[in-house]
Structure 1
Amino acid sequence: MDVHREGEHAPMSRKTRTVLVVAVVAALFGWRALQQRKPDAPKGPPKPIAAQPAPERKLGSIAFKPCTLSPPMGAQSLEAQCGTLSVAENPALPNGRRIALNIAWIPAGESGNHDPDPVFLIAGGPGQSATESFPAMIPAFRDVSKNRDIVMVDQRGTGKSNPLQCKDDDADGKTTAAVETDVDADESPEAARAMAVKCRDQLARTADLRFYTTTDAVRDLDAVRAAIGARQVNLMGVSYGTRVAQQYAMRYPQHTRTIVLDSVAPNAIHLGNDFARNLESALDLQFGQCAKTPGCTQALGDPRARLNALMVKLRAESPLVKYRDAATGEMKEERLRPGHVAGLARMYAYAPLAASILPLLLNEADQGRYENLMSLSKMLGGSMSDMMAYGMQLSVVCTEDAAGLKADASMASSLLGNSLVDLMQAQCAVWPHGDMPKDFHAPLATKVPALLLSGELDPVTPPSYAAQVAKTLPNGREFVLRGQGHNVIAVGCMPKLWAQFLETADAKALDAKCLDSLAYTPPFTTFNGWEP
Structure 2
Amino acid sequence: MTVALAAALATPVAGARTLGSLEFTPCELAQPGTGATTRAECAVLEVPENPAEPQGRKLSLKVGLVAARAAEPQPDPVLFIAGGPGQSATESYPSIAGGFARLREKRHVLFIDQRGTGGSHRLACDFPDELAEAAASTEVQVQMARDCLASLDADLAMYTTSVAVTDLEALRQALGAPKLNVYGGSYGTRVAQEYARQFPDGVRSLVLDGVVPPELALGSEHSVNLEAALKALLARCAQQPACAEAFGKPYDTLYALRDRVRAAPEAVAARDPRTHAAREMRLDETAVAAIARLFAYTPETASLLPLLLQEANAGRPQSLVQQAALVYDSLVGQINHGMQLSVICAEDAPRLEAREQDANLILGNAIVGVTLNQCSVWPKGPVSEGFREPLRTDIPTLLLSGEFDPVTPPRYGEQVLASLGKARHLVGKGQGHILLGRGCTPKLAASFVDTLDPAGLDAGCLDVLDAPPFFTTYNGAEP
Distance 1:182 1:59, change over 3 A: farther
Distance 1:137 1:501, change over 3 A: same
TM-fit CA distance, 1:75 = 5.2
Letter in 2 for 1:489: L
TM-fit CA distance, 1:297 = 1.7
| Paired residues of 2:66 and 2:109 also in contact (CA < 8 A) | yes
For residue 241 of structure 2, give the secondary structure of its aligned residue in structure 1.
coil
Letter in 2 for 1:370: P
Q: 1:118 aligns with which of 54, 77, 96?
A: 77
- Give the match for residue 30 of structure 1: none
1:346 is aligned to 2:305: no
Letter in 2 for 1:102: K
Q: 1:63 aligns with which of 23, 41, 49?
A: 23
For residue 45 of structure 2, give the secondary structure of its aligned residue in structure 1.
strand
| Paired residues of 2:32 and 2:332 also in contact (CA < 8 A) | no
TM-fit CA distance, 1:526 = 1.0
Q: 2:156 aligns with which of 209, 219, 223?
A: 209
For residue 257 of structure 1, give the secondary structure of its aligned residue in structure 2.
strand
Letter in 2 for 1:134: Y
Letter in 2 for 1:122: I
Distance 1:231 1:320, change over 3 A: closer
Letter in 1 for 2:141: A
- Give the match for residue 132 of structure 1: 91
| Paired residues of 1:106 and 1:149 also in contact (CA < 8 A) | yes
Moved more, 491-500 or 130-139: 130-139
Question: 2 CA distance for matches of 1:133 and 1:464?
Answer: 26
TM-fit CA distance, 1:388 = 0.7
For residue 135 of structure 2, give the secondary structure of its aligned residue in structure 1.
coil
Q: Deviations over 1:319-338 (max 9, x none)?
A: 23221121321233344211
1:499 is aligned to 2:446: yes
- Give the match for residue 15 of structure 1: none
- Give the match for residue 145 of structure 2: 196
Question: 2 CA distance for matches of 1:253 and 1:334?
Answer: 49
| Paired residues of 2:352 and 2:368 also in contact (CA < 8 A) | yes
TM-fit CA distance, 1:501 = 0.6
Question: 2 CA distance for matches of 1:333 and 1:119?
Answer: 45
Q: 2:204 aligns with which of 229, 242, 257?
A: 257
- Give the match for residue 101 of structure 1: 61
1:186 is aligned to 2:145: no
- Give the match for residue 171 of structure 1: none
- Give the match for residue 20 of structure 1: none
Distance 1:235 1:183, change over 3 A: farther
5 Å-filtered alignment, 1:380-391, equals: 380-391=327-338
TM-fit CA distance, 1:314 = 1.0
Distance 1:108 1:487, change over 3 A: same
Question: 1 CA distance for matches of 2:454 and 2:85?
Answer: 28
| Paired residues of 1:179 and 1:390 also in contact (CA < 8 A) | no
Letter in 2 for 1:299: A
TM-fit CA distance, 1:65 = 1.1
RMSD: 1.4
For residue 335 of structure 2, give the secondary structure of its aligned residue in structure 1.
coil
TM-fit CA distance, 1:195 = 0.4
1:141 is aligned to 2:100: yes
For residue 330 of structure 2, give the secondary structure of its aligned residue in structure 1.
helix
Question: 1 CA distance for matches of 2:68 and 2:327?
Answer: 35
TM-fit CA distance, 1:374 = 2.1
- Give the match for residue 429 of structure 1: 376
TM-fit CA distance, 1:81 = 1.2
Distance 1:426 1:397, change over 3 A: same
Structure 1: gaps (5+ residues): 1-53, 168-177
5 Å-filtered alignment, 1:63-82, equals: 63-74=23-34, 76-82=36-42
Question: 2 CA distance for matches of 1:491 and 1:184?
Answer: 33
Distance 1:226 1:280, change over 3 A: same
For residue 387 of structure 1, give the secondary structure of its aligned residue in structure 2.
coil
Letter in 1 for 2:145: A
TM-fit CA distance, 1:383 = 3.0
- Give the match for residue 27 of structure 1: none
Q: What is the TM-score when the length of structure 1 is the normalising length? A: 0.85
| Paired residues of 2:208 and 2:399 also in contact (CA < 8 A) | yes
Structure 2: gaps (5+ residues): 1-13
TM-fit CA distance, 1:521 = 1.5
Question: 1 CA distance for matches of 2:89 and 2:439?
Answer: 23
Question: 2 CA distance for matches of 1:146 and 1:193?
Answer: 48
Q: Deviations over 1:329-376 (max 9, x none)?
A: 123334421111111110110001101111001111221111122222
Moved more, 520-529 or 394-403: 520-529
Identity %, equivalent residues = 45
Question: 1 CA distance for matches of 2:441 and 2:267?
Answer: 45
Distance 1:86 1:72, change over 3 A: same
Moved more, 87-96 or 469-478: 87-96
1:88 is aligned to 2:37: no
1:245 is aligned to 2:205: no
